[in-house]
């Protein structure tokens, strides 16, 4: 590195306790601008909770988070989009009773201004804004192959399509930081590869910084610059994805205390950790 | 001084009634997570069934009360099992329970028409005098009964297996199921208790001093809703304390307010108190703000 | 940029435009037919009873459209809509009847008055989630009746008041409309007036729904957490819905007052609120025409009930003892239908008219908890429950 550039995201000593549970303990890391930062770890490690802290859904018990040099914990949840932070959700958070276009256009919410009265009158600002918003969403709809589904009711759509819609919606925010929570969950190999392509393209076109939680090690190794390994709310290590999945500490975190033979770490999928892809997917759908 | 105590006593009696009515809402809210507006129908059914059993079938008063409470409890259980069970979200559940009360009330008052039917309660209009304070015989029985009921609830929730199952399910139904608690059983018990409570409230409301068995009883159930605003939707203690507070405030307000404030002021007081609470402390006394984290 | 499929490329042109209300020829025809019918029906139907029923339905539809915005689109249940309707009705008489303001002033001002009341109440009711608005709105109805009974100078007190507010716009007096050589009856004029107002309101609400503010309302209904993360703010969005809903209630009330010509506080009680809820649920939540369909349907119930009273023994006529009264019968029907539709046909009556495959409004949804951002979370119970204390 030449001149030190301040990281886009600085997380320092974040503690999160909810009820009687100590979910995050002393989590500290940086994310550099334009980095593809991945977060991995066994179920229950606190990965989603970490993302919830970053997206202001949980307020940490202690610690600090700075985004672009300014304290994030002072910002309200509704201010995230303006700052340029967008996210997807592990269990999907689509607006199920609206159609695909409305869902994606909602990503433009912060950029639109018309109120209820202008909306009622329609002719003028409201109409113009709608046309502009739809035009802005067009490239995203194309990018994610959603064009064929525009007028279908969302509830009937396959899970994979729904995940894409949510991604399109997050991208419509025109964020600087994109938080993804297991975007490939429930997808087969083909869909996962496509998804990875799309995420990379979006990252390149929009100049994004990405923080992604994933279980799919193929995706993590393919896309990630670095991987943060979380276990029981603590950071086990932050290193390159390939190093991480071969790291004995990481393996034992996934498998408990049993030391198992690790397969070729460069193989795709979670085989490297001794968990077959099929088993993993089956476990998720159980 | 006696006037003060007099008003206080009648306030406590009224508050006990509110507490009983509000508890019905709270029990279902803790179990099913919904505001059960069908509670109004439980009140109506309890009063009219008791009337039918006592007046028409000739059962002794307390037997009639017990049977009516059991019957309404059964109705509540069936309602949950066959109707509410099919409803997947809170929004629809609230409207469905509202629909139940709307439909049930006119049918019941159609079957037993009349502006004020005589329930045949043993207290009639008799008034006891204790140290210069007049208290209706009904209230004199109601207050201790309510206290016993509440104590029973406390013990039930704390110390019995069933009670613990109810609490566990309210906190985390999946974990409770993993521990072998049957949620169906929990819902059934909760609704049954709510039905019995509603019936009891309805019967107390339609004693002779209450005004007889009459149309419009379901509105009294709704009158207990401000108690929930005050005490929180899922707090039994809040229901009791809130009920007492509103009952006492209502009686004092009525006694202090000049005639010119007109008829119907008394029935509006709980809602005015509710608005005041919302202004000052929206979470009520016992409900905590929804744990909305950030 | 990834290459698009041809289909997508062709659809692109349409996508860049704002959504249009009447996008198919069928819709355009229906809209024109609707407008034509507003004039044609009263001119060809002389029966004042039928016209009155239909006019009342239009007035109810205006109020129901407001309630639908709040309940169907924004997902907030209000049981107190009658309060705002009553506020508009009595305000209308005070401004139009007592003060003699012209129609084009007293009606909008009554609507604004109701909207202002909504603006005052909303922040408190909407502060908490859950059924709190339902409870508070219920209280409003009772408080409203009490207030109306005890302000005789404004409302005529217990006995109510005659409504003398004018319904003329310039030379057009809808109570005595002159079309060429013909003098229309009051019923005919009122029909045209109310249905025209309804048409305008439907257009306005349809616009709100397809624009930013309406979309935000629906977002909060469907997933409030995601809506916030996207930058929508809950309180302003809900306030908008509540205020517009209240204002439309007031507008409807003003017209209702003129239609009934005599209003009493009792007219605006829980029974009226129940009617509006029934209209919205039965007609079709979150649809523009649903409230109209629902209002027509609900408007027919008393008519049918009176006919049925002759045939069925358990329905009693006014004055008779025993059996369900005509109004009671109506309530039973409303209650049963609310339950039936919510259990089996969430889309309401309007869903029978939608082609399969088109967007279906509000079919049973999984609870928000299932789709919430928290989980497999080691703290599963902390979603949207209030933590109460046990005894």
pLDDT tens digits for B113-128?
A: 888 888 888 887 788 8
pLDDT tens column, A241-281: 999 988 888 888 887 644 333 333 333 334 334 344 444 44
pLDDT of C287 reads 94
| Bridge partners for A238 per DSSP | A228
Alpha helices (runs of H) in A207-256, residue ranges in sequence order: 217-223, 241-246, 248-255
**Which residue is listed with tokens 């006529």?**
C317
The residue that leads in pLDDT, B69 or C391, is B69
Residue C262: other Cβ atoms inside 10 A: 13
ipTM for this model: 0.90
Residues 135-174 (B) with a CB less than 8 A from some CB of C: 150, 153-154, 157-158, 167, 170-172, 174
C29 in reach of chain A (CB within 8 A): no
**Which residue is listed with tokens 């910084």?**
A209
Residue A248: other Cβ atoms inside 10 A: 9
Q: What are the angstrom distances between the C-alpha of C37 and each of A146, A215, C42, C43, C293?
A: 41, 61, 8, 10, 15
Q: What is the mean pLDDT of residues C301-309?
A: 86
Q: What is the mean pLDDT of residues A127-139?
A: 91
- Give the span between the Cα atoms of B56 and B119, in whole angstroms: 10
- Give the span between the Cα atoms of C363 and A155, in whole angstroms: 9
A52 in reach of chain C (CB within 8 A): yes
Q: What is the mean pLDDT of residues C171-186?
A: 82
The residue that leads in pLDDT, C368 or B89, is B89
pLDDT tens column, C140-150: 999 999 999 98
B105 in reach of chain C (CB within 8 A): yes
pTM here?
Answer: 0.88
pLDDT of C212 reads 94
Please answer whether residues C244 and C65 qualify as being in contact, where contact means their C-beta atoms are separated by less than 8 angstroms: no
B neighbours by CB contacts (3+ pairs under 8 Å):
A, C
pLDDT at C371 over 50: no
pLDDT band at C221 (very low <50, low <70, confident <90, very high): very high
pLDDT band at B258 (very low <50, low <70, confident <90, very high): confident
pLDDT of C320 reads 66
Output the six-digit token pair for B275.
């608005």
B293 in reach of chain A (CB within 8 A): yes
Please answer whether residues A3 and A13 qualify as being in contact, where contact means their C-beta atoms are separated by less than 8 angstroms: no
- Preceding peptide of C376 cis, ω within 30°: yes
**Which residue of C335, C337, C346, C368 to mutate against B (max B Cβ within 10 Å)?**
C335
- Give the span between the Cα atoms of C158 and C153, in whole angstroms: 11
Q: How many CA atoms lie within 13 A of A129 on its CB side?
A: 24
User: Contact C131/B233, CB-based, under 8 Å?
Assistant: yes
Q: What are the angstrom distances between the C-alpha of C208 and each of A107, A130, B58, C204?
A: 18, 12, 61, 6
A14 backbone dihedrals φ, ψ, rounded to 5°: -75, 125
The residue that leads in pLDDT, B194 or C366, is B194
Query: Chain C: nearest CA to A108, how far in angstroms?
Result: 8
Please answer whether residues B278 and B229 qualify as being in contact, where contact means their C-beta atoms are separated by less than 8 angstroms: yes
Q: What is the mean pLDDT of residues C299-321?
A: 80
pLDDT at C256 over 60: yes
pLDDT band at B132 (very low <50, low <70, confident <90, very high): confident
pLDDT tens column, C149-161: 988 888 888 888 8
Q: What are the angstrom distances between the C-alpha of C241 and each of C219, C247, C272, C363, C364?
A: 13, 10, 20, 21, 22
Find the distance separating the first CA and the last CA of chain C, reported in whole Å.
62
Give chain B's largest Cα–Cα span: 61
pLDDT tens column, B155-174: 887 777 777 777 777 777 77
To the nearest whole number, what is the mean pLDDT of chain C?
A: 84
C365 interaction partners in chain A (CB closer than 8 Å): 96-97
Please answer whether residues C272 and C175 qualify as being in contact, where contact means their C-beta atoms are separated by less than 8 angstroms: no
Closest CB to C138 among B86, B222, B291: B222
Output the six-digit token pair for C94.
């005070």
pLDDT of C6 reads 42
The DSSP code for A96 is: T
pLDDT at A179 over 60: yes
pLDDT band at C16 (very low <50, low <70, confident <90, very high): low
Q: What is the mean pLDDT of residues A172-183?
A: 95
Apex CA A119: angle with CA A114 and CA A123, to 5°? 100
pLDDT at A198 over 80: yes
B290 in reach of chain A (CB within 8 A): no
- Give the span between the Cα atoms of A140 and C120, in whole angstroms: 41
pLDDT tens column, A30-59: 999 999 999 999 988 899 999 999 999 999
B237 backbone dihedrals φ, ψ, rounded to 5°: -65, -40
pLDDT tens column, C118-130: 999 888 888 766 7
Nearest Cα to Cα of residue A170 among A159, A158, A181: A181
**Which residue of B264, B265, B281 to mutate against C (max C Cβ within 10 Å)?**
B264
Q: What are the angstrom distances between the C-alpha of C86 and each of A220, C65, C90, C144?
A: 62, 16, 6, 8
Q: Which of C175-179, C346-350, C364-368 has the lowest mean pLDDT?
A: C364-368
pLDDT band at C355 (very low <50, low <70, confident <90, very high): low
User: Contact C381/B88, CB-based, under 8 Å?
Assistant: no
pLDDT of B208 reads 80
Please answer whether residues A12 and A28 qualify as being in contact, where contact means their C-beta atoms are separated by less than 8 angstroms: yes
Name the 3-class secondary structure at C308.
helix
Please answer whether residues B199 and B68 qualify as being in contact, where contact means their C-beta atoms are separated by less than 8 angstroms: yes
Q: What is the mean pLDDT of residues A69-78?
A: 93
Closest CB to A78 among C208, C213, C228: C228
Closest CB to A138 among C16, C210, C230: C16
To the nearest whole number, what is the mean pLDDT of chain B?
A: 86
């Amino acid at each position: 590195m030449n001149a030190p550039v301040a990281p886009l995201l600085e997380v320092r000593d974040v503690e999160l306790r909810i009820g009687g549970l100590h979910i995050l303990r002393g989590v500290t890391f940086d994310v550099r601008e334009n980095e593809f930062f991945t977060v991995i770890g066994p179920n229950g490690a606190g990965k989603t909770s970490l993302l919830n802290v970053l997206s202001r859904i949980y307020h940490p018990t202690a610690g600090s988070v700075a985004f672009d040099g300014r304290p994030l914990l002072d910002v309200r949840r509704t201010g995230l989009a303006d700052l340029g932070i967008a996210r997807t959700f592990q269990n999907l958070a689509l607006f199920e009773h609206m159609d695909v276009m409305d869902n994606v256009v909602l990503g433009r919410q912060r950029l639109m201004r018309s109120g209820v009265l202008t909306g009622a009158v329609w002719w003028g600002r409201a109409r113009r804004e709608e046309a502009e918003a739809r035009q802005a969403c067009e490239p995203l709809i194309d990018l994610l192959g959603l064009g064929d589904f525009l007028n279908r009711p969302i509830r009937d759509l396959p899970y994979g399509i729904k995940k894409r819609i949510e991604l399109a919606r997050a991208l419509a925010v025109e964020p600087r930081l994109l938080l993804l929570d297991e975007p490939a969950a429930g997808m087969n190999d083909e869909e996962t590869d496509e998804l990875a392509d799309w995420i990379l393209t979006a990252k390149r076109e929009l100049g994004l910084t990405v923080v992604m939680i994933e279980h799919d090690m193929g995706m993590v190794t393919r896309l990630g610059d670095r991987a943060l390994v979380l276990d029981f709310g603590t950071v086990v290590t932050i290193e390159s994805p390939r190093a991480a999945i071969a790291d004995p500490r990481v393996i034992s975190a996934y498998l408990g205390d049993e030391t198992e033979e690790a397969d070729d770490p460069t193989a795709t999928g979670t085989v490297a950790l001794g968990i077959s892809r099929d088993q993993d997917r089956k476990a998720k759908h159980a | 001084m006696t006037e003060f105590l007099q008003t206080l006593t009648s306030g406590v009696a009224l508050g006990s009634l509110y507490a009983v009515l509000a508890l019905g809402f709270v029990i279902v809210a803790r179990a099913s997570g919904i505001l059960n507006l069908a509670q109004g129908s439980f009140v109506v059914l309890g009063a009219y069934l008791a009337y039918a059993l006592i007046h028409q079938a000739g059962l002794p008063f307390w037997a009639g009360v017990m049977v009516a409470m059991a019957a309404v409890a059964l109705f509540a259980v069936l309602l949950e099992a066959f109707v509410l069970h099919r409803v997947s979200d809170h929004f629809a559940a609230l409207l469905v329970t509202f629909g139940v009360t709307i439909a049930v009330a006119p049918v019941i008052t159609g079957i037993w028409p009349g502006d004020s039917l005589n329930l045949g309660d043993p207290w009639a209009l008799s008034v006891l005098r204790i140290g210069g304070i007049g208290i209706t015989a009904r209230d004199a029985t109601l207050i201790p009964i309510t206290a016993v009921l509440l104590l029973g609830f406390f013990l039930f929730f704390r110390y019995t297996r069933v009670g613990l199952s109810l609490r566990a399910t309210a906190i985390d139904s999946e974990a409770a199921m993993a521990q072998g608690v049957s949620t169906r059983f929990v819902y059934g018990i909760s609704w049954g208790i709510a039905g019995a409570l509603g019936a009891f409230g309805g019967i107390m409301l339609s004693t002779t001093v209450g005004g007889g068995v009459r149309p419009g009883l379901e509105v009294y159930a709704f009158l207990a809703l401000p108690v929930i605003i005050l005490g929180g939707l899922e707090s039994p203690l809040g229901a009791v304390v809130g009920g007492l507070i509103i009952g006492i405030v209502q009686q004092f307000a009525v006694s202090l307010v000049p005639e010119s404030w007109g008829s119907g002021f008394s029935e509006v007081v709980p809602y005015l108190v509710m608005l005041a609470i919302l202004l000052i402390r929206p979470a009520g006394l016992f409900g905590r703000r929804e744990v909305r984290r950030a | 940029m990834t290459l698009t499929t041809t289909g997508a490329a062709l659809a692109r042109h349409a996508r860049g435009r704002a959504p249009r209300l009447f996008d198919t020829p069928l819709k355009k025809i229906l809209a024109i037919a609707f407008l034509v019918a507003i004039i044609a029906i009263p001119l060809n139907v002389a029966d004042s009873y039928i016209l009155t029923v239909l006019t009342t339905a239009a007035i109810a539809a205006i109020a129901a459209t407001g309630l639908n915005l709040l309940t169907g689109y924004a997902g907030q249940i209000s049981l107190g809509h009658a309060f705002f309707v009553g506020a508009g009705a009595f305000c209308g008489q005070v401004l139009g009847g007592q003060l003699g303001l012209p129609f084009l002033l007293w009606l909008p001002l009554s609507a604004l008055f109701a909207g202002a009341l909504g603006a005052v109440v909303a922040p408190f009711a909407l502060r908490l989630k859950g059924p709190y608005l339902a409870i508070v709105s219920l209280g409003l109805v009772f408080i409203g009746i009490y207030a109306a009974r005890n302000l005789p100078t404004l409302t005529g007190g217990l006995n109510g008041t005659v409504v003398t507010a004018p319904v003329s716009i310039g030379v057009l007096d809808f109570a005595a409309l002159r079309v060429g050589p013909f003098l229309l009856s009051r019923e005919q004029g009122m029909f045209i007036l109310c249905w025209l107002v309804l048409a305008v309101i439907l257009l306005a609400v349809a616009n709100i729904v397809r624009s930013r503010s309406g979309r935000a309302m629906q977002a909060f209904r469907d997933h409030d957490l995601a809506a916030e993360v996207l930058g929508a703010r809950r309180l302003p969005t809900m306030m908008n819905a509540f205020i517009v809903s209240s204002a439309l209630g007031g507008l409807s009330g003003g017209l209702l007052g003129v239609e009934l010509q005599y209003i009493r506080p009792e007219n605006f009680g829980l029974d009226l609120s129940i009617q509006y809820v029934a209209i919205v649920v039965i007609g079709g939540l979150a649809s523009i025409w649903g409230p109209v369909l629902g209002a027509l349907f609900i408007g027919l119930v008393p008519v049918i009930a009176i006919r049925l009273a002759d045939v069925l023994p358990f329905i009693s006529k006014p004055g008779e003892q025993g059996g369900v009264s005509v109004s009671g019968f109506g309530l039973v029907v409303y209650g049963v239908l609310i339950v039936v539709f919510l259990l089996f046909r969430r889309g309401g009556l309007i869903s029978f008219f939608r082609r399969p495959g088109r967007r279906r409004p509000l079919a049973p949804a999984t609870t928000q908890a299932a789709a919430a951002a928290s989980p497999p979370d080691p703290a599963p119970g902390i979603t949207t429950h209030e933590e109460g204390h046990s005894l």
